[in-house]
Chain A
Amino acid sequence: MEKLEALHLNNKIDARVRKNSIWKSIFFLSTLFGLVVLAVLIIRVLFQGMSWIDIDFIVGRLSTTAENAGIMGAILGTLWVMVVVIPVTLIIGVGTAIFLELYSKKGRFQSIIETNISNLAGVPSIVYGLLGLTVFVRLADLGNVVLAGGLTLALLVLPILIVSAQEALRAVPGHLSEASYGMGATKWQTIRRIILPAAIPSILTGAILALSRAIGETAPLTVLGIPALLIPFPEGLFDTFTALPMQIYYWTIDSSLVAEYANLAAATIIILLIILFLLNSVAIFIRNKYQHRY
């Protein structure tokens, strides 16, 4: 101990401990910043919109008079779009990830594809709107219907899902698949029985992120020419529709004309958040069911 004291190690320890607590507070403040901003936003929206939410607002049809306006059309539109987006992104996204991660040979071609997919995740959403407009609305001549909107949004979030599903598959410990191959299982049996069940929790985390993005996107829908003022409810994939974010967008813009529209927009944001929350809790429920430690 004498030697240690002679070297003034104690002083250095004090400095190190101080540094440690400084860094800890920096990280804590970063977390706090996000939480505070989120809380302010939510509280503001709640105050502005909560009193406007009632049964008539939820199940009612659209109206130009603020008091009579309902958003059932937009809710149904958003749900119908999700009916397209969820299966398309999950099947194509997870399929692509499985191919890239487990079947294709690692090499130049593979890394070019992967780099491109990562870059696609960063392409502005309005560009996807243009793509959707060209391919689905005009070329495939679908018009601005649920299917066209859903496919466009699916394209938009596919890169996010592919990248996160790839990471999920990569994180499955190699010794598990080795054990399976070692018993004479084929690649597909190993994927279906061992790798996918182990990767599902993380894949769903990616799916939650992707869906949250898709459900809130406005820009690509504007480009597709999705109307905000639409009285009839969509009943299928080939009906024209409007979606909650479109509704929020137009009501916010028009609030300069009719002040109450701002409150309607806030109320719609609350409904959108609730739907998002419900969809995500389904994913979280499935995720917890599959959560294993290994």
Chain B
Amino acid sequence: MSTLTENKININVNDTVQTNESQEQIESKSSVIYNTQNLDLWYTKTHALKNINLEIRENEVTAIIGPSGCGKSTYIKTLNRMVELVPGVSTTGAISYKGKNILDKSIKVEDLRTQVGMVFQKPNPFPKSIYENVAYGPKVHGIKKKAILDEIVEKSLRGAAIWDEVKDRLNQNAYGLSGGQQQRICIARCLAIEPDVLLMDEPTSALDPISTLKIEELIKELKKNYTIIIVTHNMQQAARISDRTVFMLNGEVVEFSETNQLFSNPKDQRTEDYITGRFG
């Protein structure tokens, strides 16, 4: 496991903050929002995540790349505990989110998922109107007043850069929209619960290049107000939109550094092999 210790050194070299004590975090230009320590995850018997140690920073875009089955989707789903929907999942280690260990059983997942929104691989709007899709989250959290809901819906749709396209047909079924529009509706639906973090699990893999471009522009825009963690198959996408990139392989973090550095000067041979297209 010599590579693993190398990883840790890499992370330390790249980070201005060496420890996760809060006093020192303030000195960094943006503070750590997610701190994963010694995370291991099993699907029944399969060891899917192996000793993950990662610090994810506020108001940055962190991209996770790696070949299929490397655990990148599993990891992102652990960050809002959606992974628990799969029967037979067990974890060890800790993920602290804003200083609290979210793997602790006392954490209410409903509360966590209100702060950490998720956008999925396939656009998955509800079979409801555009308005009802975006108002779903606020309604679930008990907002009933029409005026407030109207305001949230407009704000969220504007935030997802789709307001102008749908403002005249808010009461039409979201299924009438194109795939790219549906995905932006899903992002708007996420924004409506005013999360701090947006988890995106390959949000453009089902979309055409133009829709992909729009989502990427949107992500750059959203970065100002949200912490974004994006899983992607597309290395160019990671290079275009992210501040830091994680390269995962077989359930391990191989390399984690600033995106520029990871793509121009990878420390690990496996990273280099992957980004130059030798496998994956």
Q: Which residues of A are interface residues toward B (Cβ below 8 A)?
A: 105-106, 173, 175-176, 178-186, 189, 193-194, 197-198, 292-294
Contacts and interface: CB of A to CB of B under 8 A. Distances in A.
B230 interface: no
A175 B120 contact: yes
Given A179-B124, A182-B120, A184-B137, 4 more contacts: A178-B85, A178-B124, A182-B118, A182-B190
Contact of A183 (B87, B175, B193): B193
Contacts, number: 70
B127 A198 contact: yes
B259 interface: no
B135 to A, nearest CB: 11
Contacts of B173: 292
B126 to A, nearest CB: 6
A183 to B, nearest CB: 4
Nearest to B118: A182
Interface stretch (B65-73, B108-116, B163-171): B108-116
Contact of B127 (A106, A184, A185, A294): A294
B117 interface: yes
B136 A183 contact: yes
5 contacts: A175-B122, A184-B110, A184-B137, A186-B110, A193-B140
B224 interface: no
Nearest to B121: A175
Contacts of A189: 140
Contact of A292 (B87, B120, B127): B127
A180 B114 CA distance: 11
Interface string B128-155: 0000000011011100000000000000
B82 interface: yes
B113 to A, nearest CB: 4
Nearest to B137: A183
A106 B87 contact: yes
A181 B140 contact: no
Given A175-B122, A183-B114, A193 B136 contact: yes
A293 B140 CA distance: 23
B25 to A, nearest CB: 27
